[in-house]
Structure formats: C-alpha cells, structure tokens
Amino acid sequence: MVERLQNYIDGRWQDSTAAEWLDVENPATQEVLAQVPLSAAGDVEQAAQAAAVAFQSWRRVPPNDRVQYLFHLKRLLDENLEDLAQTITLECGKTLGESRGELRRAIENVEVACGIPMLMQGDVLEDVARGIDEMMIRQPLGVAAAIAPFNFPGMIPFWFFPYAIACGNTYLLKPSEKVPLTMYKVMRLIEQTGIPAGVVNLVNGGKEAVDAILEHPAIRAISFVGSSPVAKYVYQQAAAHGKRVQCQGGAKNPIIILPDADVEMTTKITLDSAFGCAGQRCLAASLMVTVGQAKQPFTEAIADGAKSRVVGSGLESGVQMGPVINHASRERIEGLVDQGLEEGANVLVDGRQPNISGYEQGSFVRPTLLQDVRPDSRIAQTEIFGPVLGMLHVETIEEAIALVNSGHWGNMACLFTSSGAAARKFRYDAEAGNIGINIGVAAPMAFFPFSGWKESFFGDLHGQGRHAVEFFTQTKVVVERWFQDWTRQF
C-alpha cells in the first residue's frame, strides 16, 4: 500500500475529504511514490478558518520572537538537506546536485526573513506641522496563501511563506499535486519548530482547492507561480474577490551571444541554462541568438555539448540531466519539436524518443537543438518547458535586442560578451525583469526581487526580499498631536 498524503491544518495532520486521488510518480521509473488528495473546498475552508483564528494571536507575537521559529527551521532544513534533496529528485526528476541547489536557495529566503525586525520597520517624521508627528507602520494582512508549480518543489514556497509569517500573517500552502512530497516533509520540520497551531497550514490539491482559495473571504493575499494561462486566471479571480495578488508565469528566455564572448565559458553556461533541470526552469535559456561571427563557433560547441550530456536518473552520480516531469509533458515537448520542423526549423541534435538503459519506462527527452528557427514562428514564441534550445541568428546587437523585445514574455534575457559597452546597452534596453550578463540563469538572490515582466508576471510586487515584506504588510499612517499641559499633576 502506498502512503495516502494528509493535509496539515490547525497544527494537526488530517485526512482530506477529497473525492479523487492522484498517483505521485517518480518520472525516471514511473514507480508510484504516494497518493495525493485533490482536496475539496471544505478542506480549504477549514485551513483558512484555522489560519484566521491563529492570526489574532500570531500578529501580537513580537517580530523578534516570530523569527526564532525561522532560525529553528533554518537549522532543521540544513540538517535534513540530504533527505529533502533525495525527495525532490525522486518526485521531480532533477539531479541531486540541482535538488541541493534549490534547497540552498530556499534556506537563503528563511535567512533573509529572519531580518524582519529590521525589514518591517516603518517611518516616522516629527513636526510635519508644529507639534504634529506622522508615522507609517507596517501591519500584517491576515491570512495569505501560495499556489506552487511542480518544477521547484523545495524552493518556490520559500519565496513567500517565511516573509509572510515573519511579518505576522498566517499561511495556507498548496503545493503542486505533481510533487507534494517535498513540502510534506518540510511541513513536518515546520511542525518540529513548535510554531503555534494554525500559523502554517498545508492543503494538497488541484484546481478545486485553488478555486476555493481564490474565493475564500478570509484569505487576503495570494502568491501564485505556474504557467501563464493559469497565472492570468488566478490574477483575475483573486482581484475580482478583492485580494492582493502576485502571479509569476511562464517564459521563453533568449540568450544573446556576441562574437567577442568567451567560447568555453559561454558554451558551458548556455548548456547548463538550456538543459539544467531538463529545461524545466522558468529561467532556462530556450532561444540562443548568435550575432555576426558568433554563429559558427558557438553552434558547433553547443552541438558537441548537447550530444555528450549525460542523461539518466537524477539519483545516479555523473548524470547531468534527469527526466521531464511525466509522459504527458514528454509527448507535449516532442509534439512542439515536430511543429518546429513543420514551420521550417532544422533539427541539429535530436533528443526525441531516447533509450535510457535501465530506465525504459522513464519520461526522458535528450537535449535537442533546433536550428534556423524563425522569430515569428510558433516554436519561437511557445514555452516548451523541456530540454529544447531554438537557435536563431542576427547580424547586430540592435537586431538582437529588438528580437528580445518583440517577444511577449519577459522573465529573463542574457548577453554573453567581453564588451562593457555592449553589456550596458543590453542591460539598459532589454525588456525583461531578470538580466544576465555572462550569466545563464539570472536567478535573483533572496534579498532581491524575482522580477518577471510582461506575460511572465501579473501584479506589482514580486517575490523575495523587500518586495515580499511590502506584499505581506499593509501600511498604516498615523498623524499624531498631543496637547501640552505641563501644569497637570500625575
């Protein structure tokens, strides 16, 4: 019997009232790891109520006491990093090195949120008029919720909940139903910190749970990360229900390579960006644009690197790329490659239908390179979310920047060059929220906002750092005057 996952509500593990359960599968083998409930609206209702009640006392806990639970959680995450990394690799497929890396980024967010006693401070100005002082205070909102995607089960919830609870909010977390095991384990660690019941709640589920979160009157703020169509839906529905909302969506990230870029480093970094996590990163390079003389040397080097990438189970040492999340995703990716070929692209390295010895049942796609991709083709504009790199060529940096800016996505754009002037022009003109200069995955550290633009982000304040503190607090301005009566006896 495989384990049936529970929800964690009001400090207790409890069975979901779900009518439907899904198998959680290891994408490298299709082994069933557990069953996850598609929780019903009633489960969300219970969690939201528990969080609303807990908020009344949690907001009164001094910030420096609230962060003690986060210091404790950081220690537990460090101690359990290896076990959590194994779990991420088992349910998500990425290599163990990638799983460890994402956990370190998660822990970084806990560390930053531990600075809340300073980050949450307001502003005061004396004598805005004679004898009148004015202050701006930050107060928590109430109950906040996160809806997470499958590709970073151990990191993405941490862009939000440590800041939310440190600011005095209470929380409801809904992981992706494809990868619920990692947060299941993290929730057990949160429980070990002794944090009061109802402050953090976990509800497993899919669309029904999301819709219940969107509609619940006690939930004041929602953070979403996932595909752009769902991001737009969540953004609209949350706004229609009067909630504060931030939604990070999909991407199609171009890497521009100038002829003066370092061949060895640029090739290594581009391969890591395109094929790391099997291309299932919202900051994966998915379009490589060579400029002028860069075409021939970089095309050859990238093709060699793509062919020699070691693909297999993420648990095995030496493996550089694991499977994609499931068979449906593999079929979708291969279908998009077929479509690219119909649109006139040529396949330089073909990773479709691979045979991975010992993992014949796995959802594998090998690194794939498509050459001569037209900028206006669907393949150039559709997020593939797999190990497929489209290759384009232009003659000038101006054309390259125009190509970047013509896309409807805006998560990341990168430039490889040894020219400071070219780098400055790119940084200044490229329309994307995360820019890499000789960097292939321009993921902001926890103390900077994760700044998607255009169709890659719906909202105003982003995840992480100061933006998170602003998102999870509401400002109150107090204008204060005291009449002086020094003759009064106390």
Specify the residue, 59 or 327, whose C-beta has the smaller distance to ligand NAD. Answer: 327
Distance CA 470, CA 140 (A): 10
**What are the distances in angstroms from CA 113 to CA 146, 244, 466?**
16, 20, 9
> Contact between 55 and ligand NAD (CB under 6 A)?
no
Three-class DSSP labels, 366-428 = CCEEEECCCCCCHHHHCCCCCCEEEEEEECCHHHHHHHHHHCCEECEEEEECCCHHHHHHHHH
Residue 16 near residue 40, CB atoms below 8 Å? yes
Instruction: Tell me the closest approach of the beta carbon of residue 5 to ligand NAD, in angstroms.
Output: 14
Min CB(362)–ligand NAD separation in Å: 18
Please tell me whether residue 411 binds ligand NAD under the rule CB under 6 A.
yes
Stretch near ligand NAD under the rule CB under 6 A, chosen from 74-82, 182-190, 416-424, 449-457: 449-457
By beta-carbon proximity to ligand NAD, the closer residue of 25 and 177 is 177
101 forms part of the interface with ligand NAD (CB under 6 A)? no
Q: Residue 345 interacts with ligand NAD (CB under 6 A)?
A: no
For ligand NAD, the binding residues in 427-446 under the rule CB under 6 A are none
Beta-sheet strands, E only, within 417-459: 434-437, 453-454, 457-458
Q: Give the CB-nearest residue to ligand NAD.
A: 226
User: Minimum Å distance from CB 152 to ligand NAD?
Assistant: 6
- Nearer to ligand NAD by C-beta: 211 or 316? 211
Q: How far is the CB of 305 from ligand NAD (least distance, A)?
A: 23
**Binding ligand NAD by CB under 6 A: which of 163, 171, 359, 450?**
450
Which of 266, 371, 456, 464 is the binder for ligand NAD (CB under 6 A)? Answer: 456
Radius of gyration over every alpha carbon of the chain, rounded to an integer in angstroms: 24
Does residue 148 interact with ligand NAD by CB under 6 A? yes
Closest to ligand NAD by CB, 277 vs 337, is 277
Q: Which of residues 261-290 bind ligand NAD (CB under 6 A)?
A: 282
Query: Which CB sits closer to ligand NAD, 154 or 168?
Result: 154
Token pair of 212 as six digits: 């219940």
* Residues 195-214, mask of contacts with ligand NAD (x by CB under 6 A): -----------xx--x----
User: What residues pair up with 285 in beta bridges, in sequence order?
Assistant: 253
Which CB atom, from 90 or from 212, has the smaller least distance to ligand NAD?
212
Q: How far is CA 60 from CA 65, 73, 97, 168, 195, in A?
A: 10, 21, 40, 8, 14
Q: Are 47 and 204 in contact (CB under 8 A)?
A: no
With residue 302 as reference, give the H or E element that holds it: helix 295-308
What is the closest distance, in whole angstroms, from the C-beta atom of residue 112 to ligand NAD in the complex?
17
CA atoms within 13 A on the CB side of 18: 23
Alpha-carbon torsion angle 46, 49, 50, 52, nearest 10: 160
* Dihedral pair phi/psi, residue 99, rounded to 5°: -65, -40
Taking residues 150 to 169 in sequence order and writing x for each that binds ligand NAD by CB under 6 A, - otherwise, the string is xxx-----------------
Closest CA to 414 of 381, 272, 404, 259: 404
7 binds ligand NAD (CB under 6 A): no
The one segment of 64-72, 92-100, 226-234, 296-304 that binds ligand NAD by CB under 6 A: 226-234
Query: Distance between CA 397 and CA 153 in Å, rounded?
Result: 37
86, 193, 227, 326: which one contacts ligand NAD (CB under 6 A)?
A: 227
Q: Closest CB to ligand NAD among 148 and 165? A: 148
Q: At what angle do helices 397-406 and 420-429 cross, to 10 degrees?
A: 20
Q: Using CA atoms, how far apart are residues 185 and 87, in angstroms rounded to an integer?
A: 9
Contact 28, 313 (CB under 8 A): yes
Looking at this protein, which amino acid is placed at residue 489? Answer: Q
**CA 7 to centroid of chain Cα atoms:** 22
Least distance CB 328 / ligand NAD (angstroms): 10
147 binds ligand NAD (CB under 6 A): yes
Q: State yes or no: residue 149 binds ligand NAD (CB under 6 A).
A: yes
Single out the residue of 248, 299, 313, 473 in contact with ligand NAD (rule: CB under 6 A): 248
Which residues, numbered 74-93, are part of the site for ligand NAD (CB under 6 A)? none
Residue 377: HSE in the Cβ half-sphere, 13 Å Cα cutoff: 22
Single out the segment in contact with ligand NAD by CB under 6 A; choices: 61-69, 136-144, 225-233, 363-371: 225-233
Catalytic residues: 282
Beta carbon nearer to ligand NAD, 29 or 246:
246
The upper half-sphere exposure of residue 329, i.e. CA atoms within 13 Å in the direction of its Cβ, equals 23
- Amino acid 447 reads F
Quote the CA–CA distance of 445 and 282 in Å, as a whole number.
15
Q: Is residue 225 close enough to count as binding ligand NAD by CB under 6 A?
A: yes
Nearer to ligand NAD, 208 or 316 (CB): 208
Query: Which two structure tokens, joined as six digits, stand for 345?
Result: 């692209």
> Which of positions 171-190 make contact with ligand NAD (CB under 6 A)?
174, 176-177
For residue 309, the 8-state DSSP code is -
Which residues would be at the binding site for ligand NAD (CB under 6 A)?
147-152, 174, 176-177, 206-207, 210, 225-227, 230, 233, 248-251, 282, 383, 385, 411, 450, 452, 456
